[in-house]
Structure 1
């Protein structure tokens, strides 16, 4: 809720202090650190004046709408533990309050299957839309899940499916959408949520996937550590598309860090892995194939400044890549443009940049346009008239998107 209102923890703390002083006539010590501890569940039942101020400032009906419960009963204790474990009060409270009291009284296996099927259909939208358009869809699914956990009667098996497996997947997808919309800090919180849920379920696949996502949004050194941790989590016996995706992401992390030798080894390992039989590949990696590895190979060599090795695989993969997947195709075209620039072929670089710019305007994602601007500026630096024009238009382009 704080994030939805565009407030930092310090700003929320200031409003809470003002509300407490207005209602009690006494100063309050609430600061940004206290808000952080409340959001993370370290303080699950703050003092009454703070609770009442939070309710007033955030405009909800009750303390429970904020996920605050006095641990007087075992069930309430479980609720508090779940909130603390997931560190998500600031996020789930918004969607839960919007959903109202719609949680069913009892939820069974069939209901979980329906929730999973619905979420799978929503995930398919990621190929066509950007994170700014999909974030609230995925986040609302996660919040609905949490609402069911808080208010519905569940068996232990159903609770496990909701609290761990499905929640981890929903958090990972929400984090990806937040990252795609340009909110990296928020994305990390979702990925951390998903990681904790996956660890509770002892699902090494989902643990690895959470770590893979973290490797994409973190800095270079942290990126490599996260990618290596993902491989460790999934174990040495993993094969097929699981390892193909893990190794390809490791290759990218190494390339960004300038480690050519390690990147090449990881790419070779990914090629070997994707050729092995993998009939039971989980959804998070089932899409990995040779075309995807061609794209990653081209991206890796482009970043490493080897256009001779980058241009062919990228060109090959993009020939049959649909324009309807505008975000991804735009991004991949920017690495092709970079490779052409490194090869001294300014004309082809500008053509790729023009295609990338046209596609970037179709997706509710900040990433393609940011990359296009980088490439366009490189084109302009060559003093090409067409390059200068591309850079100007890329800089003037604005995306009209929703925001997490």
Structure 2
């Protein structure tokens, strides 16, 4: 083949390739609509958590959505404001994954989620989601029996700007701090902090715009729930029972798992006062379909163990033992 013919032939081939090659897609411009879509997914995760709570499926879905939000950072263009909002969305999802793991008693996974959530939230500059993450960390360490770490983590949350600006956040921070101090047996701190939490909640503007994660659960009932946890941990049985009854009266009907947790805590408070028969009746009132939740099941098991230690082979002990066998046989 002559050189000129070769050049002509190869040039034509190259031209054909260029003509039929797909054009490079322009980078996606990330905007408010993308943020709103992610926020809608976050609201769905929150709603699912309230219905079911602690499930691995919720944790997995939240992690997937966090990855989706972070992928937009890598493959799209956006203003600085939108990028910060994307990081806040990703951190929100990771905080829900963290909470699902805590609620499901998967503490090692929760610790890993916390590390990722905290680093992403720091890049967002959003103190509301940072508050949620560090407040959850305080709860995580409280459940692990590490009050020192729990107090330190919750102090990070309480020191954030949002806790100074909005009394509702301040109230939640104080209430969770009280629950942690219950573990240490510092009843004076418990009473003081619960007083601060109540005062702050009463000052909070009910009509203020706040993230869905806090409006979905924090109210007077939740404050009483945390007060119940604090007094129960400190062995203040009568105070614990009083807050339990108030919480149950005020608790939103959609929060079945939270209602069950409060009911079991009430049973523990009655047990601590030696009211064995009422305690058993209270524990048996927990709906069967909720009793299999890891957190609820663990609390019911602890109830049975404590009841047997206090009233071995008595009528309440035997009644509960038979009931528990029937429940776990049915739900196995």
CA offset at residue 393 of structure 1? 5.2
Identify which of 274, 297, 300 aligns with 1:369: 297
Identify which range, 292-301 or 366-375, moves more after superposition. 292-301
SS where residue 182 of structure 1 aligns? coil
Identify which range, 191-200 or 277-286, moves more after superposition. 277-286
CA offset at residue 339 of structure 1? 0.9
Query: Separation in 2 of the partners of 1:322 and 1:236?
Result: 25
Does 1:188 find its partner at 2:116? no
CA offset at residue 398 of structure 1? 7.9
2:15 maps to none
Does 1:250 find its partner at 2:180? no
Query: Separation in 2 of the partners of 1:265 and 1:151?
Result: 50
CA offset at residue 204 of structure 1? 2.2
Identify which of 294, 306, 309 aligns with 1:378: 306
Query: Separation in 1 of the partners of 2:235 and 2:242?
Result: 14
CA offset at residue 324 of structure 1? 4.9
Scaled by the length of structure 2, the TM-score of the pair is 0.80
Does 1:329 find its partner at 2:259? yes
CA offset at residue 372 of structure 1? 0.8
Contact 2:190 / 2:231 at 8 angstroms: preserved in 1?
A: no
CA offset at residue 229 of structure 1? 2.1
Contact 2:67 / 2:90 at 8 angstroms: preserved in 1?
A: no
Does 1:212 find its partner at 2:135? yes
Contact 2:163 / 2:169 at 8 angstroms: preserved in 1?
A: no
Change (3 A) 1:221 1:141: same
Contact 2:94 / 2:117 at 8 angstroms: preserved in 1?
A: yes
Contact 1:330 / 1:359 at 8 angstroms: preserved in 2?
A: no
Does 1:227 find its partner at 2:154? yes
Contact 1:221 / 1:257 at 8 angstroms: preserved in 2?
A: no
Query: Separation in 2 of the partners of 1:238 and 1:296?
Result: 22
2:24 maps to none
Change (3 A) 1:185 1:111: same
Query: Separation in 1 of the partners of 2:269 and 2:210?
Result: 33
Scaled by the length of structure 1, the TM-score of the pair is 0.67
Change (3 A) 1:107 1:399: farther
2:13 maps to none
Contact 2:260 / 2:287 at 8 angstroms: preserved in 1?
A: yes
Quick check: which one's helix share is greater? 2
Q: Would you say how many aligned residue pairs link Structure 1 and Structure 2?
A: 295
Change (3 A) 1:323 1:394: farther
For structure 2, the 5+ residue unaligned runs are 1-26
Contact 1:240 / 1:281 at 8 angstroms: preserved in 2?
A: no
Change (3 A) 1:322 1:205: closer
Q: Deviations over 1:211-251 (max 9, x none)?
A: 11111111221111111222122477334211111100000
Identify which of 142, 156, 174 aligns with 2:66: 142
For structure 1, the 5+ residue unaligned runs are 1-103
Identify which of 259, 275, 290 aligns with 1:345: 275
